Every structure is written in structure tokens, then in C-alpha cells.
Chain A
Amino acid sequence: MSIALSVDELASRSRRRQRREAFVTHLCLVLGVLIFAFPIYLTIIGSTHDVNTIGRGDVPLLPGAEAVANYSQAWGVGGGRFMGVPAGMMLMNSIIMALCVAVGKIAISLTSAYAVVFFRFPFRMLAFWLIFITLMLPVEVRIIPTIQVMVDLNLTNTYQGLIIPLVASATATLLFRQFFLTIPDEYVEAAKIDGAGPLRFFIDVIIPLSRTNVAALFVILFIYGWNQYLWPLLIVNDRSLETIVVGLTKMIGTGDAQNEWNVIMATAVLALLPPVAVVVLMQRWFVKGLTETEK
């Protein structure tokens, strides 16, 4: 009898403890979400007020009535001290750039990792180490010579100039190399016996096996391309080629004129949307890829 009671007692204690733990966990989560979400919330609210509200120094916490006007101005006209660039155009520039950088980086690193892992040729390891060493040189260090090259090639103020120097990627090459090294030799050998050439093997086996990695890298590289600031700032003067990250900072003045914070915030919200869309869409892909892990 007494034993039965103590079992009940223990069970209810452990239930209480589980509830308490669940509460603490959720509290931490909610706090974290608030800390991350609040600035974004402020931005979204700010983009719905007229120019004077924020100019006065108020920080409104409730939506205003100017949303449509602000967003249509940001999208179609732009704002800022100089002649504004419409956000629609800057978004398009940014999307083209980020897409090309991500796709280009993945294509180049897939093929170079394939070459380094699956082929035996002279100076193979040297080639790999040369790629690897560039990891240690950040873009900023080699930015002057890169600009010189682009100028010599007449590629300033072009999409090519904006994109090509960012396409080479040691990190992605390294990642794909590590992944390829885990692919069993037997696949290669089975393909050899089946009569699949290197290109067939690459397309039929390597790329399908890499799709989870490709999806994950695409998200990371798209955002990397999207967030580029220094390089687009230097290589492009033509405002019709301006990317949204650069354009956004140019909209903020140095103090002689009132900033149109409402339009800036609307543009910032617009600038958030494509990366969010990529993360949300691709997440489904690579979560699917992760749950369907092979072997």
C-alpha cells in the first residue's frame, strides 16, 4: 500500500518537473524570438507612418496609415538626398547578382571538387592547395588588384563586373570535396563497369547525390551574394545597376537634410523579402533532403 502511494507520488512529481522544464524552455524561446523579432517589427511599423513621425524622434509601436503611399514610393520612385533609385529596380539588380553568384559558385566548385577528387592528374594536390589558400585571403585584401583587372577588361558598370569576381569559391569547393570523399569508390567502379564516362557519372550520380548539399549551399551563397556591399559599391557607379544593400545605405544622409525614414524602412522591408523567400523555399528542400538521407 505504502509502496503504491509512493509510486503515485513519484509519478506526479516527475510530471510536475516535466511541466516546469517545458515552461522554462518555452520562456527562453519566447524571449529569444522577441529579441530577434523586435527590431524587425519596429522597421515594419516605421514603414507605415508618414515622414514626420519618425523625424520627430517618436518610435511608434502601432501601425500608421501611410503604408500604401510609402511602399509605392519606395517601389516606384525611391527616396533619399539624391535622385532616388526605385526599390523595384534595385531588388532586380540584387536578385540577378545574388542568383548568378550562388549558381556560379556552386557550378564552379562542384566541377573543381569533382576534378580534384575523382581524377588523377599531375599537380592535382597543388591545384587543390592553391584553391584552398585563397580561403585565407579575404575579398578586401585583393580588392584593389581585382578592380584594376575589371577596369582593364572594361567591365566596370556591368553585371559581369559585379558578378564574376565573386564567383570563385574556395569554401564551397572544400565542402564539396569533403562530401565527394565520402562517396564510396564502388560507385565509381560500378559506373566504370557499366560504361558510364566521367561526364555521365557526374550528371547521373554525383549531382543527384549532392542535391542536399547544393540546396544548403545555395541558401548560404544567395545570402552571401545578397549582402555584398563593398564590391558593388566600388565597381558600379551607374545607379541603374545599384544593388539594394548599397542603395539602402545611400538613402541615409549625413545630416544636412531630413532622412525619409518611412521610405527607407519600406525599402528595408522589401530588401528582406527575397532572402527570406529563398530560406523558406529552400528549407523545405533541404529538410526533405536531410530526412531522406541516403544509406
Chain B
Amino acid sequence: MATLTLRNIKKSFGATAVLHGVDLDVADGEMIVIVGASGCGKSTLLRIVAGLETASSGEVIIAGQNVTPLEPADRDVAMVFQNYALYPHMSVFQNMAYGLKIRRLPADEIRRRVDEAAKLLGIGALLERKPRQLSGGQRQRVAMGRAIVREPKLFLFDEPLSNLDAKLRVQMRAEIRQLQKRLGVTSLFVTHDQVEAMTLGDRLVVMHAGHAAQIASPMEIWEKPADTYVAGFIGSPSMNFLPATLLEGGGAVRLDTNGLILPLLDGPRAGQAGRKLTIGIRPEHLQIGHGGLDMLVDLVEPLGGESVLHGKLPDGTPITARLQGAHYVDGMMGVILPLESLHVFDAETGHRLEAGA
């Protein structure tokens, strides 16, 4: 149980820079999810915190102590690996006890801690089994148990759910979250799955090309994505982006696709008339109606209570809508863009433009 601070973490492998300076402050007991597409540097960041990788520059501070020069074992962190990394020749008990044995804890203390963790995870009956005799979910629990018995300052999760089937993943996701809240251990969780990220994290770090594109609570990220990358990455299906031009006074934009003029309800944006913008709108915010955009639907995915419609605008811009009901067919339909749901981004940099900024 501790705070974690990352200061300007940079990492290059040879000439390839993977992390370009990441700063992060994690409060005691907080669950931070690092999310991003593969190759964005999220695993590298986690491994730098664990001490498995050395940062090219920057500092890792755990509980106020600078641990940058320390070995992984001396940082008092525990890690859950994607493939669980359970030693195949050791029983579940031995696997969970191994870290404690090396730290020379007395045998009865080891027994007590392992039993306690096993009870917490519901794997008490499996302690004498070998990992190969366990199902994926059980292995996952053992890997968690191995981290819990250490009573570390920090939990590190490296995509621990990606080897599970979809149903189990949802279940384990909830369990991990409950457990983390109950134990109150500061945690870092790496995933590429945005749903996992949204549901698990107190705050998310959205990584993009070695930068932390945005660090904020899940809802904040969903409501006010910092740039077009974050906006497109978080939310399913992805946000629609439409090129647009700022009008005189900054209080409205004109969509390039059909000249539709959209007033900006929350206030004018800075910049000269003609400034190139990107207007973002989430598929679930589009509504059926006339006077907006004409969408040529070419694929309908019914999901039961709602449907996802994929299509194109007349000029070829792809557009996706998520609408209630399941009664849609291919063909032309009109959608309108509710003005309160618009996101405004700079077309060049992709950064979010707030009113007055």
C-alpha cells in the first residue's frame, strides 16, 4: 500500500525510442489502467515500474522512495503475468509460497498467508494440485494469489485476462476489481481492451506512440477525450470523425461533407474563420431524422436491444451509428447530430478544442 510516482520516464531500445517521457502520480490504493494499442509502450512502462527493464532516464518512486536503481525483488512489488508464469513442477501451494520462502519467512507464517489468500480466492481445495491440472480461470487465481501473499506495496498486472475466454474474462475482471478494492493495494493494470480499462480503472492512462495521451477517470476520458486518438480508441464502436471548417466568430462550424452548419452550444472556439477542424460524434449519439446527414447503410449488426449500422456519407466518409431496436435494413437513411454531443478537435494536431481555448 503506497503511492507511485513516475517522473519523465524515457526508454529507447537502441535507436528506437519507445517511451518519450511519461509522468504519472498514483494515489494510495488507486487502480490505474494503462491502455493502448499494441506497441504503444504500455508493457514497457509496466516493466520499468517492476524493475525488469531499466529506463533510459527518469525516476520511479514507490511510497516516497526512489527505487530506480533497485532490483525487482527490492522494490516490494508483485506482478501477475499474461501467461501466469506458474512454475509447472511446483504445486499451487509451492507456487504461492515460493516468494515467501525465498524471503525466509517462517513456515507457519507462509502457511497462514497462503491459506488466507487461497480462501479469499476460493482455491483452497486446489493447493496440492499442479498448474497443469487447473483450468485457465483457476490458474489466473493462483497467479493472483502468488501476488497477494507477498503483501506488496504495488500490484502490477500485465494483460492478465487476455488468455481467458470471453465469459471468464468478464467474471475475472469483476473479481480483480472487488479484490483490489478490498485489499486496497495500489495497482497498475496493463491492457489493450478498452472495455476492461473502462470497467477496472479509477483512472486510465491512454498510451499512444510512447506518450501518455490522456490520464483521467474513465468517464472523463469518454466525455472529454484529449485528442482524436483517445476519442477513437475509447468507446465502441469508435467515434465518427467528420472534417469541418470554423466559421466567422468561432461559434459554429460547417461540415465539409455537405455544408451543414452546426452551432457550437458550449461556446465559440478560438481561431480564424476557415480553421480546419475535426468534429467527433459517438455512434450512440446519432439519431434518426432529417436535416442532418444522409447515410448509406451497407451493414447492419443487430445486437439484440440495439443495432450497429455501418455506412458511408455521399462523399465516401465512413460513418457508424448505434441505434435502439433491431429493425434496420440496408439503404439510405437520414441521421442528425445532437449539438450537445459534438466533440471539436483541431484537424492538424488532433487535440481537443474547448470553448474559449
Interface locus among A58-66, A200-208, A264-272: A200-208
List, in ascending order, chain B residues with CB within 8 A of A238's CB: none
The residue from A192, A208, A295 contacting B72, defined by CB atoms under 8 A apart: A192
CB <8 Å contact, B71 and A192:
yes
CB <8 Å contact, A194 and B83:
no
Tell me, yes or no, whether A246 is within 8 Å of chain B by CB: no
Q: Pick the most buried of A184, A192, A193, A205: most chain B CB atoms within 10 A of its CB.
A: A193
The residue from A189, A196, A209 contacting B81, defined by CB atoms under 8 A apart: A189
Tell me, yes or no, whether B73 is within 8 Å of chain A by CB: yes
Tell me, yes or no, whether A179 is within 8 Å of chain B by CB: no
CB <8 Å contact, B87 and A205:
yes
CB <8 Å contact, A184 and B85:
yes
Assembly CA distance A187 to B86 (angstroms) = 7
List, in ascending order, chain A residues with CB within 8 A of B79's CB: 189-190, 193
CB <8 Å contact, B99 and A295:
no
Tell me, yes or no, whether B69 is within 8 Å of chain A by CB: no
CB <8 Å contact, B77 and A195:
no
Q: Mark A178-192, 1 if CB is under 8 A from B, else 0.
A: 000000101101101
Tell me, yes or no, whether A152 is within 8 Å of chain B by CB: no
The residue from B77, B82, B88, B89 contacting A193, defined by CB atoms under 8 A apart: B77
CB <8 Å contact, B73 and A294:
no
Q: Mark B110-134, 1 if CB is under 8 A from A, else 0.
A: 0000000000000000000000100
List, in ascending order, chain A residues with CB within 8 A of B83's CB: 184, 186
Number of residue pairs across A and B with beta carbons under 8 Å?
A: 61
Minimum Cβ distance to chain A for residue B161 (Å): 16
The residue from A186, A187, A204, A294 contacting B132, defined by CB atoms under 8 A apart: A294
CB <8 Å contact, B87 and A187:
yes
Minimum Cβ distance to chain B for residue A290 (Å): 14
Minimum Cβ distance to chain A for residue B352 (Å): 38
The residue from B84, B88, B102 contacting A194, defined by CB atoms under 8 A apart: B102
The residue from B50, B103, B146 contacting A195, defined by CB atoms under 8 A apart: B103
Tell me, yes or no, whether B229 is within 8 Å of chain A by CB: no
Assembly CA distance A200 to B103 (angstroms) = 12
List, in ascending order, chain A residues with CB within 8 A of B78's CB: 193
CB <8 Å contact, B99 and A194:
yes
Tell me, yes or no, whether B222 is within 8 Å of chain A by CB: no
Assembly CA distance A19 to B50 (angstroms) = 63
Q: Known contacts being A200-B102, A294-B132, A295-B132, is A192 close to B73, with CB within 8 Å?
A: yes
List, in ascending order, chain B residues with CB within 8 A of A195's CB: 72-74, 99, 102-103
Assembly CA distance A294 to B74 (angstroms) = 31
Tell me, yes or no, whether B328 is within 8 Å of chain A by CB: no
Q: Pick the most buried of B83, B84, B98: most chain A CB atoms within 10 A of its CB.
A: B98
List, in ascending order, chain B residues with CB within 8 A of A187's CB: 85, 87
**B87: nearest chain-A partner, CB-CB:** A205
Q: Mark B54-74, 1 if CB is under 8 A from A, else 0.
A: 000000000000000001111
CB <8 Å contact, A294 and B89:
yes
List, in ascending order, chain B residues with CB within 8 A of A208's CB: 89-90
**A293: nearest chain-B partner, CB-CB:** B132
List, in ascending order, chain B residues with CB within 8 A of A184's CB: 83, 85
Tell me, yes or no, whether B52 is within 8 Å of chain A by CB: yes
Minimum Cβ distance to chain B for residue A179 (Å): 14
4 closest Cβ pairs, A-B complex:
A195-B73, A186-B85, A294-B88, A194-B99
Q: What are 30 A-B contacts with C-beta separation under 8 Å? A: A184-B83, A186-B81, A186-B82, A187-B85, A187-B87, A189-B50, A189-B79, A189-B81, A190-B81, A190-B146, A192-B51, A192-B52, A193-B50, A193-B72, A193-B73, A193-B77, A193-B79, A194-B98, A194-B99, A195-B73, A195-B102, A196-B73, A196-B102, A200-B102, A204-B98, A205-B87, A208-B89, A209-B89, A294-B88, A295-B132
Extra 11 A-B pairs, beta carbons < 8 Å, given A190-B79, A205-B89: A189-B81, A189-B85, A190-B81, A192-B72, A193-B51, A193-B77, A193-B79, A194-B73, A194-B99, A204-B87, A205-B87
* Chain B residues within CB distance 8 Å of chain A: 50-52, 71-74, 77-79, 81-85, 87-90, 98-99, 102-103, 132, 146
